[in-house]
């Protein structure tokens, strides 16, 4: 059995577990995991851990991540993204690009972020997303994150496309909701793509159809 990693471009609408299951079948290897999930709506870099490399999960958690995403103004959803139900609507046409740029820049540096209810953080041993599915909402302890780059790429209301480079533990959907709130409206993510995890980027990511034994990369170079 080969040991190493595969850098995969996760398709939209598949869960990270779906991709892991696909790789297990394709490679005929049972011991496959991932180094940080992507939501079903998200696309982009998903690192698969093969064989002995499943024990290096924590090595990838500390790496910076890059995203391109779209915040759609005017509506807040139960999940913070387009897969949730709309629970609030607000006017957004008053927002200028100058105001938006000012808000985006205000998030640079160390920040305390409250994890969203639809996250894998545990509350009394239960995942928040499991509680959210039951309609429950509990208080969450803010966590320190570092926003290293955060800028607008395209401003075409109701959509604001942005680039983000951030530390571990940053929830992009929560960041987007907070920005929308600071702009005097509400919003949710309608598109998100992870461009990189550390040195592993989308340019070198495999499509699912390209997954093969000979594409497995050694990690770390020596066990």
Q: Is 145 left (phi over 0), alpha (psi -120 to 50) or beta?
A: beta
The gap between the terminal CA atoms of the chain, to the nearest Å, is: 14
Q: Which of 41, 69, 66 is nearest to 196 (CA)?
A: 66
d(CA 38, CA 160): 21
* Residue 18 is a catalytic residue: no
The DSSP code sequence of 41-96 is T-EEEEEEEEGGGGGGHHHHHTS-EEEEEEEEETEEESSSBTTSPEEEE---TT--
Question: Catalytic: which of 18, 39, 159, 182?
Answer: 39
d(CA 125, CA 147): 28
Residue 50 near residue 5 (C-beta atoms within 8 A) = yes
- Is the omega angle on the peptide bond into residue 165 within 30 degrees of 0, that is, cis? no
Q: Which of 70, 52, 44 is nearest to 200 (CA)?
A: 44
d(CA 207, CA 91): 40
Positions marked active-site = 39
């Amino acid at each position: 059995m080969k040991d190493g990693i595969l850098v995969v471009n996760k398709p939209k609408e598949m869960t990270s577990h779906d991709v892991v299951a696909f790789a297990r079948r394709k490679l005929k290897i049972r011991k496959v995991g991932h180094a940080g999930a992507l939501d079903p709506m998200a696309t982009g870099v998903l690192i698969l851990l093969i064989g002995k490399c499943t024990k290096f999960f924590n090595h990838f958690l500390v790496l910076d991540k890059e995203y391109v995403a779209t915040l759609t103004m005017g509506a807040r959803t139960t999940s913070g993204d387009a897969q949730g139900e709309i629970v609030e609507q607000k006017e957004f046409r008053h927002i200028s690009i100058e105001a938006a740029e000012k808000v985006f820049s205000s998030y640079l540096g160390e920040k305390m972020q409250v994890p969203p209810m639809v996250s894998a953080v545990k509350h009394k041993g239960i995942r928040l997303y499991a509680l959210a599915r039951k309609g429950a909402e509990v208080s969450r302890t803010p966590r320190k994150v570092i926003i290293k780059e955060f800028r607008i790429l395209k401003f075409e209301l109701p959509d604001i496309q942005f680039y983000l480079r951030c530390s571990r533990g940053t929830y992009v959907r929560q960041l987007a909701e907070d920005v929308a709130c600071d702009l005097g409206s509400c919003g949710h993510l309608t598109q998100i793509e992870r461009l990189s995890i550390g040195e592993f980027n989308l340019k070198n990511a495999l499509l699912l159809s390209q997954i093969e034994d000979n594409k497995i990369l050694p990690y770390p170079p020596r066990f």
